[in-house]
Amino acid sequence: MKAVVVNFQRLGRARQWNISTIVLTVMIALTILIGTLVNSHFASWGNLSNILEQAAGLGFASIGQTLTILTGGIDLSIGMIISASTVFLAATVDGRDSLVWPMVIATLAMGTSIGIINGVVISRLKVHPLIVTLGMAAILEGCILLFTLKPTGSIPFWFEEFAWGRLNGIPIAALSMFVAFIGVALFLSRTGLGRSLYAYGDNIEAARLRGIPVNRVCVFVYATSGFFAALAGVYFVSRTGIGDPRIGVPFTLTSITPVIVGGTLLSGGKGGVIGTLFGVLLLSLIGNVLNHMNVSTSIQWVIQGLIILAAVSFYLRKGDK
Amino acid sequence: MIGNTQGNNGHSTAVGFSSVLEPLKLFSKYREFGLVIFALVLIVVATSIQPRFLNPVNVRDLLIQAAPLLIVTLGQAFVILVRGLDLSVASLMATVAVLATEFNAESNAMILPIFLLAIVFSATVGLINGLLVTKRSVSPFLVTLAMMIMLQGLRFFITQGAPGGSLPSGFRVLGNGTLIGIPINLLVALALAYLLYLLLHRSKFGRGVFIVGGNPRSADLVGIRSDRTTIWCYVICSVLAGIGGLFLVGFVGTVDNWVGRGYELDSIIAAVIGGVVLSGGRGSILGALLGAFILVLVFNVIIIVGLPVQGQLIVKGLVIIGAAALYANWVKN
Closest residue of A to B151, CA-based? Answer: A302
Residue B159 has pLDDT above 50, yes or no: yes
pLDDT given at position B19: 53
Contact A127 B325 (CB under 8 A): yes
Low-confidence ranges of chain A (pLDDT < 70): 1-18, 317-321
B-contacting residues in A 233-272 (Cβ below 8 Å): 253, 256, 260, 266-267
Closest CA of chain B from A146, distance in Å:
6
Asked whether the beta carbons of A153 and A243 are under 8 A apart, the reply is yes
Q: Could you give the C-alpha distances from B241 to A224, B28, B87, B178, in angstroms and in order?
A: 36, 31, 11, 22
CB contact under 8 A, B328 and A260: no
How many of the other CB atoms lie within 10 Å of CB of B148? 22
Q: Count of CB atoms within 10 A of residue A5's CB?
A: 12
Residue-wise burial string across B18-43, b where 16 or more C-beta atoms lie within 10 A, e elsewhere: eeeeeeeeebeeebbebbbebbeebe
Q: Are B251 and B317 in contact (CB under 8 A)?
A: no
**Residue A89 contacts B, CB cutoff 8 Å:** no
Between B171 and B190, the higher pLDDT residue: B190
Instruction: Tell me what pLDDT residue B23 has.
Output: 52
Q: Cβ contact (<8 Å) for B313 and A208?
A: no
DSSP A160-229: GHHHH-EETTEEHHHHHHHHHHHHHHHHHHHSHHHHHHHHHHH-HHHHHHTT--HHHHHHHHHHHHHHHH
A 129-158 residues with CB < 8 A to B = 130-132, 134-143, 145-146
How far apart, in whole angstroms, are the C-alpha atoms of residue A171 and residue B258?
Answer: 37
Residue-by-residue DSSP string for A40-68: TTTTSHHHHHHHHHHHHHHHHHHHHHHHH
Q: What is the pLDDT of residue A5?
A: 46
Q: What is the length of chain B?
A: 333
pLDDT of residue B12: 40
Interface test with B, best of A128, A134, A200, A306 (most B CBs within 10 A): A134
**CB contacts, 8 Å: B150 with chain A:** 301-302, 305-306
Mean pLDDT of B209-229: 85
How far does the CA of residue B77 sit from the closest CA of chain A (Å)?
15
Tell whether A14 is within 8 A of chain B (Cβ).
Answer: no
pLDDT, tens only, A112-159: 999 999 999 999 998 899 999 999 999 999 999 999 888 988 899 888
CA distance A269 to A212: 15
Residue B327, pLDDT score: 83
Residue A213 sits at the chain B interface (C-beta within 8 Å): yes
- pLDDT tens, B83-127? 999 999 999 999 999 988 888 777 888 888 899 999 999 999 999
pLDDT tier for residue B30 given thresholds of 50, 70 and 90:
low
Distance CA(A71)–CA(B281), nearest Å, equals 24
Q: CB-CB: which of A132, A139, A305 is closest to B146? A: A305
Least confident of A100-104, A143-147, B64-68, B323-327: B323-327
CB A113 within 8 A of CB A57: no
Judged by a CB distance cut-off of 8 A, whether residue A193 touches chain B is no
Q: Which residues of A touch B13 (CB under 8 A)?
A: 124
Give the per-residue pLDDT at A65: 96
Q: Hey, are the CB atoms on A138 and B149 less than 8 Å from each other? A: no
Question: What confidence tens digit (pLDDT) does each residue in B101-111 have?
Answer: 888 777 888 88
Strands B178-179 and B182-183: antiparallel
Sequence ranges of the domains in chain A: 44-256+263-271
Note the pLDDT of residue B20: 52
Please state the rounded mean pLDDT for residues B152-177: 83
| Chain B: closest CA distance from residue A319 (Å) | 12
Contacts of A138 in chain B (CB under 8 A): 265, 313-314, 316-317, 320
- Regarding beta strands B178-179 and A170-171, do their DSSP bridges make them parallel or antiparallel, or are they unpaired? unpaired
Burial A209-229 (b: 16+ CB within 10 A, else e): ebebbbbebbbbbbbbbbbbb
